[in-house]
């Protein structure tokens, strides 16, 4: 099924249902994301935002519907996990860097150990990525020696080292000090400017408005409303969206 | 619940609300390193004083056959007790620790297997050997194993000390497996997820990301168990293995089994075991402290 072309959605989510035991978290969610698009998913806590993007790279399974990445079905028995995770990178709220490795080693580890690429090539690429996230002088620092914002930028570089086509960001600024939020957002902005497809779960409304091509608002497991940022923020139609925006803006 | 006085409040005020009463733990928190902590807490100068006390205690006992005679007798036996007896204790402990560590590492990893049946078997084996008395395990191994086996017509004898090593390695295996399981599970599950999202397989994650992070944490409890094992090796004397305590008894018999011999001879065993285990306990606590400070 490698018939995917760039005019088709790079990530296609169709009627996805997900339950933890008897608790239904996603009750039929659909969205299509085109290559190069930046999509922000916003909504109150517990509305299933994080669960949804974790389903995209198969960290969570689903109970119904389908998700395809570049035309490949994600939730099948014979999923090629390696191929999927090469295509889809993910950055977490708590960075989750490997504490026993330096920043550079964190970035190099997956390409060298998993993809078995040449170490010297990977090292060169890792240094470039560090430069890209503006941490060129921190390559020998351990995660414990870096600030939250710096750790998160290393985490972004680590994910990029696998040369993904889609990046998932799961509330990546939620655990950061206010003054370091900006440096991480700038990094994501650079990425989007380079044409990376980004799916962000975020509470940064200003950032979402500025950067996103499309905004999805989820509540209680369904997509309540979606649209381009200007329409979404200024002319929200659904009362639940309005209520949420009133509280947060 | 009966009314009790509230500390820090007027004497006649009483309550039956638990929240108002001081917290009174029924038992101290479980301390994995109890043995090492206790042993290492002995200040070195006390060790010196205790060594002085040893002949004094022996003198107090002497009547006719003098204490000096007893120590002269001990002096003659010291090379035998040390180099044929105690060295054998160390040999047994090193062999049992090696086998127990290797088997325990495998068993510990079985605890985090994805297959439920493997986890359950691992749990059962661990609990069985962790909670059985060591002496019982030693006797079972002694009686259950043949004293010789035949392989392709050649008879290979299994000496008692080999059985002792196997018997002692069983509880060590179970306790090491608990150390490994605890260490692996102490790494946050987010590390597994991060690795998974970078396309690491489960095995790769375990060996390259999880175990390197918790390896250091396993060293102090591992050394603690080595000290416990070494102190348990005299159990082998009950199986007739020629180790320090067994030889000490034989030596005393040869010297006429005088009661004056007891303190010098068993005192010497005590000194040997202490001299060996005390530095290990001190090192264990030092490492524990050093690793605790770092991440």
pLDDT digits (tens, 9 = 90+) for B213-239: 988 889 999 999 999 999 999 998 888
Write the ipTM: 0.91
Q: How many domains does chain A have?
A: 1
Q: How many domains does chain B have?
A: 1
- Residue B266 pLDDT > 70: yes
With a pLDDT cut of 70, the percent of chain A lying above it is 99
Partner residue facing A98 (CB), from B199, B204, B209:
B209
Asked if residue B265 belongs to a domain, the reply is: yes
Length of chain B: 295
By the 10 Å C-beta count (0-12 exposed, 13-18 middle, 19+ buried), A69 is classed as buried
Report pLDDT digits (tens) over B172-185.
Answer: 999 999 999 999 99
pLDDT confidence of residue B171: 96
pLDDT confidence of residue B42: 85
Q: How far is A72 from A79, CA to CA, in rounded Å? A: 9
Q: Which residues neighbour B233 within 8 Å (Cβ) at sequence distance 6 or greater? A: B89, B92, B93, B164, B168, B243
- Residue B252 pLDDT > 70: yes
pLDDT confidence of residue B47: 82
Asked if residue A15 belongs to a domain, the reply is: no
Asked if residue A95 belongs to a domain, the reply is: yes
**Residue showing tokens 């700038």:** A186
Asked if residue B140 belongs to a domain, the reply is: yes
Asked if residue A25 belongs to a domain, the reply is: no
SS3 B25: coil
Q: What is the CATH number of the domain that holds B189?
A: 1.10.3720.10
- Residue B146 pLDDT > 80: no
SS3 A203: coil
Query: Is B60 in CB contact (< 8 Å) with chain A?
Result: no
Residue whose C-alpha is closest to residue B17's, from B27, B28, B4:
B4
Q: How far is A83 from A78, CA to CA, in rounded Å? A: 12
Task: Indicate the range of A78-87, A174-183, B61-70 predicted with least confidence.
Answer: B61-70
Q: Could you tell me the sign of the dihedral formed by the alpha carbons of A105, A111, A117, A120, in that order?
A: negative
Length of chain A: 249
Task: Indicate the range of A155-169, B76-90, B163-177 predicted with least confidence.
Answer: B76-90
Supply φ then ψ for residue A93, to 5 degrees: -60, -40
Look up the domain containing A183 and give its range.
36-52+79-248
Report pLDDT digits (tens) over B69-126.
Answer: 888 888 889 888 888 889 999 999 999 999 999 999 999 999 999 999 999 999 999 9
Strand ranges (DSSP E) for B7-161? 14-15, 148-151, 154-157
pLDDT confidence of residue A101: 93
pLDDT confidence of residue B63: 57
pLDDT grade for B295, boundaries at 50, 70 and 90: very low
Asked if residue B262 belongs to a domain, the reply is: yes
With a pLDDT cut of 90, the percent of chain A lying above it is 67
Residues 99-158 of A with CB under 8 A from B: 99-100, 109-110, 113-115, 144, 158
Let me know: does B51 contact B264? Beta carbons within 8 Å: no
Over residues B141-164, the mean pLDDT reads 82
Task: Provide, as residue numbers in chain A, all residues whose Cβ is less than 8 Å from the Cβ of B291.
Answer: none
pLDDT confidence of residue B72: 84
Rg (CA), chain B: 25
Average pLDDT over chain B, rounded to whole? Answer: 86
**Residue showing tokens 């957002």:** A185
The nearest alpha carbon in chain A to B207 belongs to A113
- Residue B212 pLDDT > 70: yes
Asked if residue B8 belongs to a domain, the reply is: no
Asked if residue B24 belongs to a domain, the reply is: no
Sheet containing A222-227: order of strands: A88-91, A166-170, A197-201, A38-42, A214-219, A222-227
pLDDT confidence of residue B294: 47
User: Half-sphere exposure of residue B294, counting CA atoms within 13 Å on the CB side?
Assistant: 12
By the 10 Å C-beta count (0-12 exposed, 13-18 middle, 19+ buried), A141 is classed as middle
Over residues B204-214, the mean pLDDT reads 93
Task: Provide, as residue numbers in chain A, all residues whose Cβ is less than 8 Å from the Cβ of B196.
Answer: 59, 85
Partner residue facing B199 (CB), from A96, A99, A162:
A162
Task: Provide, as residue numbers in chain B, all residues whose Cβ is less than 8 Å from the Cβ of A97.
Answer: 194
Task: Give the number of A-B residue pairs with CB atoms closer than 8 Å.
Answer: 53
Most A CBs within 10 A among B183, B199, B293, hence the mutation to make, goes to: B199
Q: At what angle do helices B211-232 and B160-186 cross, to 10 degrees?
A: 150
Q: How many CB atoms lie within 10 A of CB A6?
A: 10
Asked if residue A151 belongs to a domain, the reply is: yes
Task: Provide, as residue numbers in chain A, all residues whose Cβ is less than 8 Å from the Cβ of B191.
Answer: 96, 98
Asked if residue A11 belongs to a domain, the reply is: no
pLDDT confidence of residue B191: 94
Let me know: does A1 contact A71? Beta carbons within 8 Å: yes
- Residue B27 pLDDT > 80: no
pLDDT confidence of residue B10: 62
Partner residue facing A162 (CB), from B194, B198, B208:
B198
């Amino acid at each position: 099924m490698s018939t995917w072309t760039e005019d088709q959605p790079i990530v296609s989510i169709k009627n996805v249902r997900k339950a933890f035991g008897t608790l239904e978290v996603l009750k039929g969610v659909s969205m299509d994301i085109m290559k190069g698009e930046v999509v922000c998913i916003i909504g109150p806590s517990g509305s299933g935002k994080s669960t949804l993007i974790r389903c995209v790279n198969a960290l969570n399974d689903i109970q119904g519907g389908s998700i395809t990445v570049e035309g490949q079905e994600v939730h099948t028995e014979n999923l090629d996990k390696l191929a999927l995770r090469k295509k889809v990178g993910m950055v977490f709220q708590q960075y989750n860097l490997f504490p026993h490795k330096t920043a550079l080693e964190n970035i190099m580890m997956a390409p060298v150990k998993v993809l078995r690429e040449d170490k010297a090539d990977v090292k060169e690429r890792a240094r470039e990525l560090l430069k890209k996230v503006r941490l060129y002088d921190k390559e020998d620092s351990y995660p414990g020696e870096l600030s939250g914002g710096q750790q998160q930028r290393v985490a972004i570089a680590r994910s990029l080292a696998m040369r993904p086509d889609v990046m998932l960001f799961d509330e990546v600024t939620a655990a950061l000090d206010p003054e370091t939020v900006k440096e991480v957002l700038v990094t994501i902005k650079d990425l989007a400017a380079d044409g990376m497809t980004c799916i962000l779960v975020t509470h940064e409304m200003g950032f979402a408005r500025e950067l996103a091509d499309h905004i999805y608002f989820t509540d209680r497991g369904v997509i309540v409303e979606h649209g381009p940022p200007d329409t979404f923020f200024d002319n929200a139609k659904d009362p639940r969206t309005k209520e949420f925006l009133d509280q947060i803006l | 619940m009966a009314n009790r006085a509230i500390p820090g409040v007027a004497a006649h005020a009483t309550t039956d609300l638990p929240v108002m009463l001081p917290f009174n733990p029924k038992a101290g928190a479980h301390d994995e390193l109890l043995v090492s902590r206790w042993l290492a807490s002995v200040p070195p100068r006390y060790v010196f004083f205790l060594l002085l006390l040893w002949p004094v205690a022996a003198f107090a006992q002497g009547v006719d056959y003098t204490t000096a005679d007893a120590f002269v007798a001990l002096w003659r036996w010291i090379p035998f007790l040390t180099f044929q007896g105690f060295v054998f204790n160390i040999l047994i402990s090193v062999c049992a620790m090696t086998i127990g560590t290797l088997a325990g590492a495998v068993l510990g990893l079985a605890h985090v297997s994805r297959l439920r049946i493997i986890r359950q078997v691992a749990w059962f084996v661990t609990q069985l050997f962790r909670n059985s008395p060591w002496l019982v395990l030693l006797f079972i191994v002694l009686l259950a194993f043949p004293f010789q086996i035949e392989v392709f017509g050649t008879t290979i004898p299994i000496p008692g000390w080999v059985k002792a090593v196997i018997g002692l390695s069983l509880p060590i295996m179970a306790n090491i497996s608990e150390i490994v399981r605890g260490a692996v599970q102490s790494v946050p599950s987010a590390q597994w997820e991060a690795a998974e999202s970078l396309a690491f397989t489960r095995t790769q994650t375990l060996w390259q990301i999880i175990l390197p992070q918790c390896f250091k944490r396993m060293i102090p409890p591992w050394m603690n168990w080595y000290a416990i094992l070494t102190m348990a090796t005299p159990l082998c004397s009950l199986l007739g293995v020629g180790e320090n305590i067994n030889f000490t008894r034989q030596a005393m018999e040869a010297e006429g089994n005088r009661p004056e011999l007891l303190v010098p001879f068993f005192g010497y065993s005590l000194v040997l075991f202490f001299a060996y285990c005390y530095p290990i306990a001190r090192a264990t606590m030092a490492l524990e402290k050093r690793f605790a400070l770092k991440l």
